[in-house]
Each structure stands twice: as structure tokens, then as C-alpha cells.
A and B are shown apart, each in its own frame.
Chain A
Amino acid sequence: MYDRKAIRRRRAGLVVFLVLSIAILTAYFGESGGGFFHNLQRGAQEAFAPVETGASRALKPVRDLFGWVGDTVDAKDKNAALEREVDELRSELARTRTAQRDAAQLKGLVGLQKEEGFPQGTEPVTARVIARAPNVWYSSIKIDKGSSDGVELDQPVIAAASSDAGAATGGLAGKITKVTGGTSEVTLVTDASIGVGAQVMPAGAAGVVRPEVGDPRDLLLDLVHGGRVTDNAIVVTSGFKTSVGESLFPRGIPIGRVTDVDLDEVEIYQRVHLRPFADLRRIDIVQVLTRRGAQTQTAEVVEP
């Protein structure tokens, strides 16, 4: 059934070629650089060099086309990698800028507390703004500290300065109007419902700071009495107890700087514009002045 001769021939062929290969391999390794197989190799390469060169030139368009496809794929990969890198760097930059801004605000808040006249006996609780009223009024914000952190209703809130306020530190931002265990709502001084008892320093004229709704960079000092107000004067919380009621804010918290004074025709009524020290447009970090009460400085005056 089996053709023994064919089997033998086939096996012999395999053995011959394998042995030949191993013999060539051994001889190639055993000989020096000038040996037979090395010389044969060199000669063959020289002889075939024109053929290979011709083939290489003739097929260059094919290689180029293939290379173009490969380069395009590589470029896409590189593009994707670079886009990922840009995204990472962008988010890193955003983190750095945020940290920078937070640091500037914290620095402003610390500086504010060190200022002469700042109310003593308060314990500031630093909080981060977690929500903001979704309108142009900038009237309220939500912070991540609540009653469990010692925050109570009506406590004053301060914020760092805006770059164009003319102060390096900051000033009054608002007051606590709602408190939960872990969060609080701060109604800003720009909210229409707020009036802050204030005093102009060093002239001593007093009044009530009210917002000019819609412009967070402008506050009005209304009901001014006790003297003429001049430009660039500093307005601070008065802490007065009056017949109307006790001021919610301790005495001495900076509010803003007078930018303009409107006088009526008989120069009796003064309408004072001031720019708040606190940057009410972009608040990220605030401090709640807790432990308000016995330790705070308040001045009792009798309303004329």
C-alpha cells in the first residue's frame, strides 16, 4: 500500500536538507569573516544589489502609499495622545489656578482679621461656596458649613477683596439667613432685603448700607446723618443699637470705600455710593464670624 521508495526518498530529502542547513550554520559560525560563506554572502549581495535597488525604486510608490497610511494612523494616535495630554494639562492648570485663587482669598481673609478695628472675640469659620443663586442679582450663596460647625442665624460673613476694590484684604459679604446641619445660606449685602448699620471712617457719619440691586459693585449708604461724607472714605459696620433695633453685625467690619457722594439741592440729604471691599461677583471662600455676642464690641448710642 505504501510506496516504500517514496517514503525513503522523502525522509532522505528532509534529512539531507536539514543536515545541510545545520552544516552551513556550523560552518558559518566556525569560519572567520573572510571564510567561504561570508565571501559568498558578500558576493551575492553585491551581485543582487542592482536588482534590489531597482526593485526598491520601482516599488517605492507602494511603500510610500503604505507609509502614508501608516503615518496617518500614527498621526491619529499621536493626535489622540496629545489631546489627552492637553486635557490633563488643562485640568492641572485649572486646579492650579483654583488653588491660587483660593490662596489669594484666604490670604485676604486672614489679612482682614489682622486689620486694626476688626471685631475681636469672633471665631471665623472658613467655608467654601457650594452653590450660588442662579441669577444676576448675586443675592445669596450656599456654603458648606452649618450648625454642626457653630454657624448660627444672622452671623456676619466676610469675603476676600476684589482686585479693583482698592483694598488688599476684603470685607463684609452678608449674613447667615438659613442654617442646616452641614450647610448655610448667606444673603449677601447686595440683596434687597438687607440693610447694614454702617459708619463712615474717620468722619463718623452713620447710615444704613443698602444695595443697588443689579450692580454688585455698587452699594448705597442711605439715611446718612452726623456729618459730611467725602470720597474715598472707608465705611465699616457700626454695631449700633438704635431704637429701630440692634445691629446684626459687630462693629468694625469693613464694608467698602466711598466712590461718589450725591448731594441734594440744599445739601441736607446725602446719597453715598460705595464700592464693597468683598468681591461679591466671584466668591469661592468665605468666613463666618461665629461666637457673636458677649465678646463683640458694640456701641450703644441714643438716637437723636
Chain B
Amino acid sequence: MRLTPGAFVRVALLLLIAVVLQLSTLSQMPVLGGHFDIVVLVVAAVAYYAGSLSGCAVGFAAGFLLDLLSGATMGASSLVLTAVGYGVGRFRELRDPSHGLLPLAVGALATGAWVLAFAAVSFMLDVGATVSPLVLREMLVTVLLNTLLALPVFWGCRVLLRPVLAVDPLEVSARRRPPRETGPLGLRGLEV
């Protein structure tokens, strides 16, 4: 990602929208005990398109903003989302995948890592209450819901960030597309 003021504005806007949307709407829409979690998807999408360094920076900022506005323990979300952003970014840098449905897998894995790591951090911070096994069901449902939401979120992030990305993801896809095959010139339509 090119570190321009425009890039900062776009990412800040993206994070703000994601966090506000998460807190004001998505968290209040339970589905089978779980809910959509758009913040981690946005972090994963930015890391996926912009790399590990941007990923961990956006993860930290998103976690900070989330903790700040939700009143949760500050630093916990930042810690986990930093790691998630870095992990997704590194995956992109090392493998350089280009399949169109990859956001589904990336979104699912990032959400899984986020809910598991956040649970681990919460345990380490001593939640002070008995934990129901239903937490596992909630985690699983959240991962499944985020898998459904991954494609549109990644698409939206790509559209928003494309002007400030160092490498255009669409160009990468196009570069990898196999060349179009053509038949011998001048022989079409000349049935003898």
C-alpha cells in the first residue's frame, strides 16, 4: 500500500464504518447464537490486498477502535487483530494466490483465528465466570456467517483500496490468466 494521506483516510473511513456498523447493527443481529463480525473481515481484506505490515497496522488500529468504542478491555482486540492481520498479509506475500473464491477461505480462517485467539486472551485475563460450552457453538456459527459475508466485504475493500494499493489485485489476476488460444489464421470458414 502506498502510504499517502488518501490511503490513511480510506483505511480510517473503512475501519470506522466497520466498527460502527459492527457495534450498532451486526452485534445486535444474532443468528443461532452467533453473529456477523465484519471488523475481522475488514482487517483480513486489507491485509490480503495490502500486505503484512499494513495488515498488522490496520489490525492494531481496528482493535484499538473496537475496544475504545465497545468499552472492552483495551489492548486485547488490538493484540489479536494485529496477529491476524499480519498472518493474512504474510499468507498473501508468501503464496500470492489469485483464485476468485479465496476470500471465503481467508475470511473463515481469519475469523476462526480471531475468535479462538480472543477466547484464549480472555481466559488468560481471567474472565471470572464459568464458561458455557455453547461458546464453541457461537464461535463456529460466527465463522460460518463470516464465511458467507467474506466475498462482499473483500470485494468492497478491494474497490475502496484499489487506488492506493501498490499492486492492483485485478492486474495480478489478469496476469495469471492463461493466454487465449486461437486457431490458424485464414482457415476459418473455408470448408473445402
Tell me whether A14 and B68 are in contact (CB under 8 A).
no
Tell me whether A40 and B68 are in contact (CB under 8 A).
yes
* Complex CA distance for A21 and B78, rounded to whole angstroms: 6
Give the chain A neighbours of B63 by CB distance below 8 A. 21
> Max chain B CB contacts within 10 Å: which of A21, A22, A24, A70?
A21
Give the chain A neighbours of B68 by CB distance below 8 A. 40-41, 44-45
In the complex, whether B169 has a CB less than 8 A from a CB of chain A is no
Give residues of chain A (30-57) contacting chain B, Cβ–Cβ below 8 Å. 37, 40-41, 44-45, 48, 51-53, 55-56
Give the chain A neighbours of B20 by CB distance below 8 A. 48, 51-52, 55
Tell me whether B25 and A24 are in contact (CB under 8 A).
no
Tell me whether B69 and A13 are in contact (CB under 8 A).
no
A1-31 interface code vs B (CB 8 A; 1 in, 0 out): 0000000011001100110111111111100
* Complex CA distance for A26 and B73, rounded to whole angstroms: 10
Tell me whether A63 and B29 are in contact (CB under 8 A).
yes
* Complex CA distance for A62 and B76, rounded to whole angstroms: 30
Q: How far is the CB of B150 from chain A (nearest CB, A)?
A: 19
Out of B25, B73, B75, B86, which one reaches A22, CB within 8 Å?
B75
Give the chain B neighbours of A28 by CB distance below 8 A. 73-75
In the complex, whether A266 has a CB less than 8 A from a CB of chain B is no
Give the chain B neighbours of A21 by CB distance below 8 A. 60, 63, 75-76, 78-79, 82
Q: How far is the CB of B79 from chain A (nearest CB, A)?
A: 4
* Complex CA distance for A62 and B59, rounded to whole angstroms: 27
Give the chain B neighbours of A66 by CB distance below 8 A. 29
In the complex, whether B53 has a CB less than 8 A from a CB of chain A is yes
> Max chain A CB contacts within 10 Å: which of B21, B52, B63, B69?
B69
Give residues of chain A (144-200) contacting chain B, Cβ–Cβ below 8 Å. none
Out of B24, B59, B74, B83, which one reaches A41, CB within 8 Å?
B74
Tell me whether A17 and B75 are in contact (CB under 8 A).
no
Give the chain B neighbours of A227 by CB distance below 8 A. none
Question: Contacts A25-B79, A51-B20 hold; do A45 and B71 have CB atoms under 8 A apart?
Answer: yes
Tell me whether B28 and A18 are in contact (CB under 8 A).
no
* Complex CA distance for A14 and B25, rounded to whole angstroms: 31
Question: Contacts A13-B57, A70-B31 hold; do A18 and B82 have CB atoms under 8 A apart?
Answer: yes
Give the chain B neighbours of A56 by CB distance below 8 A. 24-25
Tell me whether A41 and B29 are in contact (CB under 8 A).
no
Give the chain A neighbours of B23 by CB distance below 8 A. 52
Give the chain B neighbours of A70 by CB distance below 8 A. 29-31
Taking A17-B57, A22-B79 as known contacts, 9 extra A-B pairs with beta carbons closer than 8 A to each other, sorted by chain A number, are A21-B75, A21-B78, A22-B75, A26-B75, A28-B73, A41-B68, A55-B25, A66-B29, A67-B29
Residues of A within 8 A of B (CB): 9-10, 13-14, 17-18, 20-29, 37, 40-41, 44-45, 48, 51-53, 55-56, 59, 62-63, 66-67, 70
A-B pairs, 7 with minimum CB distance: A25-B75, A24-B75, A21-B79, A21-B78, A56-B24, A55-B24, A17-B60
In the complex, 16 of the A-B residue pairs with CB atoms within 8 angstroms, ordered by the A residue number, are A10-B53, A14-B52, A14-B56, A17-B59, A21-B75, A25-B79, A28-B73, A28-B74, A28-B75, A44-B69, A45-B69, A52-B69, A56-B24, A59-B25, A62-B29, A70-B30
